[in-house]
Structure 1
């Protein structure tokens, strides 16, 4: 298992361009959707940064995670530093995953455009990458189809009821929009990537890396406590969590179990989507003109399944 976790594979990479094509949309339409979603995600991120540096905050220490307990930054920010709570937002898992979604959609849009433009000549940009970057792109896809769903579940099930839910709802239109963008539309973007492209179920070894990344984030959360003096999430604070340290441990293992469940559900949904669309409906894919005749059937370790032979 450990050896496979670091293996990139030796067979031809994604010969039918599943990452850049869809069973439903032609390549340029898939590019347009991904580019539009990326534009919205980056607009949300930078608007929040601008808003956070120009509007007062009720609770600067919690200014990162979709305004869980605040409106935005005070100009003085955290510890007297301008935009301090906006800088602190990089300690929040929601914010980090939203950056990840934005960059994945941007990169995926570029790859889709290069496929649509160069399918019969040089091929898409992703096909020309080193094998290590191709494998990392596959892992990147797995993170943006898993973590956003985890963020949405944890926020609405755990964080919202103890913050805005207890107060009767969001205090402002900005707060409602910000939270909807980061804790609802994030999952919409993930579902689009699950249902629309021709991707296959992720390799099971990716679950290992999802857990490793979560463990690294947990370390970041406590580094933030040591360096900036606040808990990024209240359930990591033994003083505010029922059961103290045991309660914190239970939350950590609960999130671990949740990511395993979410990964399993995503894997099954992608498998069913592929089976229904390709085997039952005969929708093998919308390809660029002349860009679908690979005529090969190699194993594809990064995607965890074998690609179909093209006629």
Structure 2
């Protein structure tokens, strides 16, 4: 288990650049979509912070603790993921060699885990918010309605984009354990926030109010995370099955190359640079 927990993948890693290519969009089009989603997410976060500090002292005080809320943390995660993935996609579209391919293997593995978090956690936020936290009355302020829809509905739409549009493989099973570890670490953040600031980020984390239900909430969210991981894995597997095997849409690559040509050129580059694990330099082959 310990060996698998820190597994960084096999060589060659992502030979056909699935993280930077799509079965339907060209690399440049995928870059534009990711860049726009990143811009929207950052604009949303900054607009909410500025608006709250200008118009509402109460909300401004809450904004100072923004990184204590799982909702905001996952939304910042989406913003930075789309920024980073846009950079990788742009470098691939420009040269056929994404920046991601030049990074050390641990960072490549972390990018893969990053992808898994942005395709799973937003659904947890959306489900918990609309099922438990939403009071059933629509917002009287247009700004509040927009901000909550952006953070609690469009976040899942962004996750669906990454599930459906790129050529990514289903996530590694070990990622499910890492997701649980991240949730456990967030639980620590929530209780440190209470110890430092004197409030619970979410009412269902209050042991005095919830009693024995607190354990049920914690276990329920962990189980729900595992179920959502399975659903996301199945959706990505189904997308790959339908688009690549049934429809024959293998992907759109740099310079109009095929998947086989893209993989071959990647391996050749690695061999030439001596990066392929257990490889022999080309001149000695």
TM-score, structure 1 normalization: 0.82
> What is the distance in 1 between the residues matched to 2:64 and 2:170?
36
Distance 2:266 2:225 in 1: 32
Q: Which residue of 1 aligns with 2:98?
A: 124
Q: In 1, distance between residues paired with 2:45 and 2:63?
A: 11
Matches within 5 A, 1:110-259: 110-119=87-96, 123-161=97-135, 165=136, 168-241=137-210, 244=211, 246-259=212-225
Deviates more, 1:281-290 or 1:102-111: 281-290
Secondary structure of 1:151's aligned partner: helix
Aligned to 2:237: 271
User: Does structure 1 conserve the Cα–Cα contact (< 8 Å) formed by 2:68 and 2:193?
Assistant: yes
Distance in structure 2 (CA, Å) of the matches to 1:49 and 1:178: 11
Separation in 2, partners of 1:240, 1:297: 57
How far apart, in 2, do the equivalents of 1:5 and 1:101 lie? 24
SS in 1 for 2:239: helix
Structure 1 Cα separation of the partners of residues 265 and 172 of structure 2: 21
2:31 is matched with 31
Q: Deviation at 1:260?
A: 0.5
1:10 deviation in Å?
A: 4.2
- After superposition, the Cα gap between the structure-2 partners of 1:113 and 1:296, relative to the gap in structure 1 and judged at 3 Å, is closer
1:295 Cα offset (Å): 3.4
- Indicate yes or no: 2:82 matched with 1:105: yes
Distance 1:133 1:216 in 2: 20
Q: Structure 1 residues 296 and 205 mapped into 2: Cα distance closer, same or farther (>3 Å)? A: farther
Structure 2 residue aligned with 1:90:
67
For the 8 Å contact 2:16–2:266, the answer to whether it is kept is no
Once the 2 structures are TM-superposed, how far is the Cα of residue 150 of structure 1 from its aligned partner? Answer: 0.9
Instruction: Name the SS for the 1:16 alignment partner.
Output: coil
Q: Secondary structure at the match of 2:31?
A: helix
Could you tell me how far 1:54 is from its partner in structure 2?
Answer: 1.0
How many residue pairs align between the two structures? 264
Measured in 2, the distance between the counterparts of 1:10 and 1:22 equals: 22
Q: Deviations over 1:143-187 (max 9, x none)?
A: 0000001110111011113xxx1xx22131111001000000000
CA RMSD of aligned residues (A): 1.5
What is the Cα deviation at residue 261 of structure 1? Answer: 0.5
Separation in 2, partners of 1:202, 1:116: 24
Deviation at 1:297, TM superposition (A): 11
Measured at CA, do residues 89 and 173 of structure 1 come closer, stay the same or move farther in structure 2, by a change above 3 Å? same
Give the deviation of 1:291 after TM superposition. Answer: 4.8
Cα 1:170–1:240 shift into 2, 3 Å? farther
Provide the residue aligned with 1:309 in structure 2: none
CA distance, structure 2, for counterparts of residue 29 and residue 183 of structure 1: 26
What SS does structure 1 have at the residue aligned with 2:264? coil
Q: What SS does the corresponding residue of 2:254 show, helix, strand or coil?
A: coil
Alpha-carbon deviations, 1:15-37, whole Å to 9, x = none? 00000000010111111110111
How far has the Cα of 1:240 moved from its partner? 3.0
Extract unaligned runs of 5+ from structure 1.
61-71, 78-84, 299-311
Structure 1 residue runs of 4 or more that deviate by more than 6 Å after TM superposition = none
For 1:271 and 1:151, locate their aligned partners in 2 and report how far apart those are by CA, in whole Å: 23
- 2:266, 2:143 → 1: CA distance? 51
SS of equivalent to 2:55? coil
